[in-house]
Amino acid sequence: MKDLQLGTDIDRAARHLSAGELVAIPTETVYGLAANALDETSVARIFKAKNRPHFDPLIVHSHSFAALLPYLGEIPPAALKLAESYWPGPLTLLLPRNERIPDLVTAGLPRVAVRVPRHPLTLELLVKLPFPLAAPSANPFGYISPTRPRHVLDQLADRVSYVLDGGPCAVGLESTIIGFEPDGEPLIYRRGGLPTAALEATLGRSIPALETSTSQPQAPGTLHSHYAPRVPLLFGDPATLIARHHGKRLALLSFGATAHDLIKRAAGHISLSPRGDSIVAAARLFAALRELDRPDRFDLIIAEPLPEDGVLAAAVNDRLRRAAAHG
Ligand code: TXA
Ligand code: MG
């Protein structure tokens, strides 16, 4: 049966959003669950649909840096440079905001997360709208982010008016989030689709990462159990973990060439990139996790760490580590 909620009708998406409703939008990173960022009632619907706590703030999306300026305060020079270099693209900047951004969007924080996504359909939609879009990833709070329209419909069909079909997400990991110290020094708040090495090359200095804290969710994705599949996930050396959990129905999520005897001992197997490419692995990660998240077929998912030298390896490993953190 044809899904009437899914399509490429930008005018329809714009109508729903203008009426205060929720629309899932494609971006190069993951699908977002979007609403009018300037309307508190619309934004409240996002929190309700995702079952997301109100202390976890949202990213505001627009079609250009210039279009975001009316909502922002003073911008650190490093932020300007990054915005000019990487937007549209998988980068989110935490910048001082003014009172035009509702408190609900930032959880009352003085900074707002902003980004210009790189997807033609969504850029076209944003150009049409007289307001920016607040959009978290379009998954129930704590679950794996969606990288296909089907992922959104599987879980949120009854809560979105429309899903704008932009195909599979090219990058597959959420945006890299950069904040700035009071002296203007950049800090990595979340590793993501834009490699740290690229940002460091642009700024000509190394960028430290904010310590991930489980008690103080002041920062993105620092809540411990994020991206968690229903099937418990173990992150570590596959040979060791497979030997330790002998007799269980194991799903193996590997990277690179995987030894045949390991594959044989698993009830299911996906290699994120048989060639060992971390960019390919990132693009496939969330779809693969969803495919293996089958409690009817598997007791455990065993996920192999990527060697840290791949450009997106640290970001992929970060997601797998969080997927493994239970409770
Ligand atoms: O790639 C992405 O960033 C996707 C697409 C849809 O743009 N969005 C996304 O949103 O990943 P979400 O809500 O799943 O993750 C955004 C993270 C949250 O963990 C939130 O805590 C953090 O950004 N965040 C948002 N505003 C913030 C702020 N003012 N200060 C600190 N962290 C903030
Ligand atoms: Mg999310």
pLDDT in tens, 308-317: 999 999 999 9
Instruction: Please write the tens of the pLDDT for every residue from 245-292.
Output: 999 999 999 999 999 999 999 999 999 999 999 999 999 999 999 999
Task: Give the number of other Cβ atoms within 10 Å of residue 67's Cβ.
Answer: 17
Confirm if 235 and 324 have CB atoms less than 8 A apart.
yes
pLDDT of residue 4: 84
Q: Average pLDDT, stretch 98-107?
A: 97
pLDDT of residue 227: 83
Is residue 2's pLDDT more than 80?
no
Mutate to test the pocket of ligand 1, among 27, 31, 59 (most ligand atoms within 8 A of CB): 59
Residue with CA closest to ligand 1 atom 6: 32
Is the torsion defined by CA of 52, 93, 318, 183 positive or negative? negative
Split at pLDDT 50, 70, 90, the class of 226 is confident
Give the integer Cα–Cα distance in Å for 255 and 276: 6
- In the block, residue with structure tokens 């704590």: 142
CA of 268 from ligand 1 middle (Å) equals: 32
Is residue 225's pLDDT more than 70?
no
The arrangement of strands across the sheet holding 91-96 comes to 6-7, 162-164, 23-25, 32-36, 133-134, 59-61, 111-115, 91-96, 176-180, 186-190
pLDDT of residue 32: 98
The amino acid sitting at 55 is F
pLDDT of residue 213: 44
- Range of lowest pLDDT (38-42, 225-229, 238-242, 295-299): 225-229
Give the integer Cα–Cα distance in Å for 176 and 85: 14
Ligand 1 atom at minimal distance to the Cα of residue 52: 13
Ligand nearest to the CA of 117: 1
Ligand 1 atom at minimal distance to the Cα of residue 107: 29
CA of 220 from ligand 2 middle (Å) equals: 8
Q: Average pLDDT, stretch 195-215?
A: 85
Residue with CA closest to ligand 1 atom 31: 219
The response to whether residue 109 sits with its C-beta less than 6 Å from ligand 1 reads yes
Please write down the long-range contacts of 137-140, taking CB distance under 8 Å and 24 or more positions apart. 137/30, 137/31, 137/32, 137/33, 137/174, 138/24, 138/30, 138/31, 138/32, 138/33, 138/50, 139/50, 140/50, 140/51
Residue with CA closest to ligand 1 atom 10: 136
- Range of lowest pLDDT (2-6, 107-111, 149-153, 228-232): 2-6
Confirm if 37 and 43 have CB atoms less than 8 A apart.
yes
Is residue 220's pLDDT more than 50?
no
Residues 6+ apart with CB under 8 A from 18: 36, 129
Global pTM?
A: 0.95
pLDDT of residue 327: 43
CA of 249 from ligand 1 middle (Å) equals: 35
Q: Average pLDDT, stretch 32-57?
A: 97
Ligand nearest to the CA of 33: 1
Residue with CA closest to ligand 1 atom 17: 220
Q: Where are the alpha helices (DSSP H) in the chain?
A: 10-18, 40-50, 65-68, 77-86, 103-106, 120-128, 149-156, 196-203, 238-244, 260-265, 278-292, 313-324
Question: Residue 319: which of 276, 297, 296, 287 has the closest Cα?
Answer: 287
Q: What is the percentage of the chain residues whose pLDDT exceeds 90?
A: 92
Q: What is the percentage of the chain residues whose pLDDT exceeds 70?
A: 94
Ligand 1 atom at minimal distance to the Cα of residue 115: 7
H/E segment holding residue 212: none
Is residue 129's pLDDT more than 50?
yes
Ligand 1 atom at minimal distance to the Cα of residue 135: 6
